[in-house]
Amino acid sequence: MIVVTGAAGFIASCLVTRLNAANFNDIVVVDNFNEERKLANLKGKHLREYVDREGFFEWLDANHEQVEFIFHLGARTDTTEQNRDVLNVLNLDYSKKMWQACVRYQLPLVYASSAATYGSGTLGYSDEDALLPLLRPLNPYGDSKNDFDNWAVSQPEKPFFWAGLKFFNVYGPNEYHKGRMASVILHAYRQILDTGSMTLFRSHNPEYADGEQQRDFVYVKDVVDVCYFLMHNRQHSGIYNLGTGEARTFLDLTLNTFAALDRTADIRFRDTPEDIRDTYQYFTQADMSKLRSIGYTQPFTRLEDGISDYVRNYLVPGQYL
């Protein structure tokens, strides 16, 4: 039995598909299932049981002997959330309870961290433990993730295997419900269909031209492949970056979205909203050497190929993964 939290969400629902494809069908999905807009992500999947997140630990106390692995991907992922109490409850405290349960029952754990922990990136993007206490995220969401990473590595008692994954800019199918927090590719797709053009944030940093802001964009299919790898390779616990190792510009992303739709590019710019302008990251790029060092050898999908697959095989026909 495999437990996946946040299961109706973007990355976790894609992970369930990946597990089903490998004939893992005894899957317990954990989430707040009251959000109707997310439930389509789980339609047609092979599942054992739905468990509400509020009752999960009681369920685990009764069923832990049957559980083989836990993927804790559930979190409040809104980077504009300013209510630290909400973030502490859902991202920090809940994750601590999950960790302690995995210690108690000796269950392997993979959990979701975030590249938001790196803040402005002035200290680089190394996932070595020594950097963790020095990081200064730019928003409360990043703080909640960094606080848990620091707490986890300092614990005297740990699950016999655990891994925290610092997701960079993940894109791909099953993010239809994410609203403002969806990938720029989904926003571009919708804008292009509606208006024929795409509007990007103008640069407010003299070191970057408009549209030349860079991110490490990673396809969700690659993300779940890494999760699957870690489920079968439990020798090296720790925190790992999960990007591609190659930063690309928002212009690259947008031009490839136009190309996938066979449309002529029409790109415009507007000021970055003031509520995120001071905390906006202009460059992220994962150092992937640590994950590679433990034997992960699969190549990561090129941005051009990922966007083409996402747009043509999922967005245009309205399909889920």
- CB neighbour burial string for 125-146, b if at least 16 within 10 angstroms, e if fewer: bebeeeebeebebbbbbbbbbb
- Cα–Cα distances in angstroms (integers) from residue 120 to residues 117, 135, 242, 276, in the given order: 9, 9, 18, 13
| 32 annotated among ligand-binding-site residues | yes
| 290 annotated among ligand-binding-site residues | no
- CB neighbour burial string for 89-104, b if at least 16 within 10 angstroms, e if fewer: ebbbebbeebbebbbe
pLDDT of residue 30: 97
Strands 248-249 and 214-215, bridge-based pairing? antiparallel
What is d(CA 302, CA 278) in angstroms, rounded to the nearest whole number? 30
Q: Which of 178, 208, 282, 296 is catalytic?
A: 178
**Spatial CA neighbour of 233 closest among 169, 154, 153, 293:** 293
- 289 in any annotated domain: yes
Tokens of 144: 């909640």
- 212 in any annotated domain: no
Q: 3-class SS at 303?
A: helix
What is d(CA 90, CA 88) in angstroms, rounded to the nearest whole number? 6
| 166 annotated among ligand-binding-site residues | no
Instruction: Identify the CATH number of the domain in which residue 81 sits.
Output: 3.40.50.720
| 136 annotated among ligand-binding-site residues | no
- 270 in any annotated domain: no
What is the span of the domain harbouring residue 129?
2-172+219-245+285-300
Kindly report, residue by residue over 211-221, the tens digit of the pLDDT. 999 999 999 99
Task: Please give the tally of structural domains in the chain.
Answer: 1
Which residues, including other chains, have CB under 8 Å from residue 86's CB and lie 6 or more apart? 76
Kindly report, residue by residue over 223-263, the tens digit of the pLDDT. 999 999 999 999 999 999 999 999 999 999 999 999 999 99
- 48 in any annotated domain: yes
Is 178 annotated in the active site? yes
Least confident stretch, 70-79, 214-223, 286-295, 299-308: 70-79
Kindly report, residue by residue over 90-145, the tens digit of the pLDDT. 888 999 999 999 999 999 999 999 999 999 999 999 999 999 999 999 889 999 99
- 306 in any annotated domain: no
CA 271 to chain centre: 26
Helix 303-310 and helix 250-260, axial crossing angle in degrees, nearest 10 = 40
- 185 in any annotated domain: no
Tokens of 9: 């969400």
Angle at alpha carbon of residue 93, lines to 88 and 99, rounded to 5°: 145
Kindly report, residue by residue over 273-285, the tens digit of the pLDDT. 888 888 888 999 9
Residue 78 has pLDDT above 70, yes or no: no
Is 171 annotated in the active site? no
Q: What percent of the chain has pLDDT over 90?
A: 88
- 197 in any annotated domain: no
- 316 in any annotated domain: no
pTM attached to this predicted model: 0.95
How many residues in total does the chain contain? 321
Q: Which of 118, 125, 141, 171 is catalytic?
A: 141
| 104 annotated among ligand-binding-site residues | no
| 221 annotated among ligand-binding-site residues | no
Conformation bin of residue 121: beta by default, left when phi > 0, alpha when psi is -120 to 50: left
